[in-house]
Amino acid sequence: MPQRKYRYFPKPEGEARNQPRPVGEHDGFVASPVHRMHQNLWAFAESPAEIRDSAVTLYPVWLRLILPLVCSGALWVLIFWVLGYLR
């Protein structure tokens, strides 16, 4: 059997002291901690071109792809050798 839904309506206390109001033209911008955090993190999102392109000019693509694969394969061989599967 469905239950009835009851609502609790608080009694008004005369005038509310801290009511939100719409922003007017005379109001200034308030920097909150969240705004400051986003502004500080934005520095990490934009990297200068010389830092961003340095890895491309230093190492060729084939080396950046093959090196992690070879190192991973070597670690797996070492793990299997330590566990005794390759002895």
Q: Where are the domains of the chain?
A: 58-87
Q: 31: closest CA among 43, 40, 44, 22? A: 40
Residue count (the chain): 87
pLDDT digits (tens, 9 = 90+) for 3-25: 677 676 666 666 656 677 777 77
Q: How far apart are CA 73 and CA 1, in angstroms?
A: 63
pLDDT for 2? 67
Q: How far apart are CA 26 and CA 5, in angstroms?
A: 44
pLDDT digits (tens, 9 = 90+) for 42-80: 877 766 666 555 656 678 888 889 999 999 999 999 999
* Full-model pTM: 0.37
Q: How far apart are CA 73 and CA 55, in angstroms?
A: 24
